[in-house]
Chains A and B, each alone.
Chain A
Amino acid sequence: MAEAMASPNPSGGFWHRLANPARFQRLSAWLMPWLVLITLGCFGAGLYYGLYASPIDYQQKDTVRIMYVHVPAAWLAMMSYSTLAISGFVALVWRHPLADVAGAATAPIGAVFTFLALFTGAIWGQPTWGTWWVWDARLTSVLILFFMFLGYIAIRNAFDDQARAGRAASLLAIVGVVILPIIKFSVDWWNTLHQPASVSKLSGSSMDPAMLRPLLIMAVAYMALFGVLLLLRMRLELTRRRVEALQMARAGAATP
């Protein structure tokens, strides 16, 4: 992997050239200001519309405003896991060196978004349903997803050999993403079996366009923030790997 990164194929495609860490650094440096701009702009607009310039729900009153931080968090949780799975697939099938880095970088971000989805979901549930936790289909699925993120992080840390850790984690992400729809389907079925009467209010069935606007703006804000965090953590991961490689080289050269 070190050799591949040191001398990439200059006539290779975009992704091959991107495997060069210096090129990646340049691309990410170019992207970053735009992402930061979009993040700040969309959070500003989203918070303005979400907290101030949008109507209250007929039944939920102001608590519907929690939806604007909860639903995008759940979307980002799923987007993060998809990123894990795709990077795992690329890492195993094409051995693209950045793919493994992307996976390692995404995992903690995904875990945070998932936790936020759970936390805000619980807070939303209390005034809406009178209880701090409710086993509705979405929250249950997100809770399971949280543990799948923890599993991914755990398996990355379970091996000293980083290459082995990366391969095992990549495979786990792929297996997870295959089984995830089945889990979601079975949880949905389980939910309708046990709570036939309640329609999930958290799904926001008939959405007033005035409510859709802050929701979508916040979603874009979250996505841009995800991009910022991903690039930063990929830089971090690349730097850490170079540090480790240098330390190992020094340790190897220092043996008497």
Chain B
Amino acid sequence: MTDDMSPLMHFFHMGGYWPYIWPAYGVVAVLLIGLLVWTLVALKRSRLELEALEALAPRRRRRTETSPAGGPDDAQP
């Protein structure tokens, strides 16, 4: 049966063990790429949050209407 397969099919067939090899490699790819993507998304979101907070920080006195309390003791992060 394996003799009349094209070389590509032969490759995917993996000697009959394709249901083991491809899921194994597949889960590795999914989880590693997933971890990477999740990290990048969270990093982006966190950076946006940081920018938003820093824009509101009282020490940026360029804005004419600053936050009400004026925050004298702006804690340096």
Binding site for B on A (CB under 8 A): 2, 6, 47, 51-52, 56, 61-63, 65-66, 69-70, 73, 108-109, 112, 115-116, 119-120, 123-124, 126-127, 225, 228-229, 232-233, 235-236, 239-243, 245-250, 252-254
* Bound Cα distance A107, B71 (Å): 37
Binding site for A on B (CB under 8 A): 11, 14-17, 20-21, 23-25, 27-28, 31-32, 35-36, 39-40, 42-43, 46-47, 49-50, 53-54, 56-58, 67-69, 71, 73-77
Which residues of chain A are near B53, meaning CB under 8 Å? 243, 246-247, 250
B75 engages A2 (CB within 8 Å): yes
Among residues of B, the one whose C-beta sits closest to the C-beta of A109 is B35
* Bound Cα distance A225, B32 (Å): 9
B24 engages A112 (CB within 8 Å): no
B77 engages A242 (CB within 8 Å): yes
B23 vs chain A, min Cβ distance (A)? 6
A157 vs chain B, min Cβ distance (A)? 16
A56 engages B15 (CB within 8 Å): yes
B31 engages A253 (CB within 8 Å): no
Q: A2-B77, A250-B53, A253-B69 are in contact. Are A65 and B14 (CB under 8 A)?
A: yes
B54 engages A246 (CB within 8 Å): yes
**Complex A-B, nearest 4 residue pairs according to Cβ-Cβ distance, in ascending order:** A245-B77, A253-B71, A62-B15, A249-B75
A69 engages B17 (CB within 8 Å): no
A252 engages B46 (CB within 8 Å): no
* Bound Cα distance A236, B36 (Å): 12
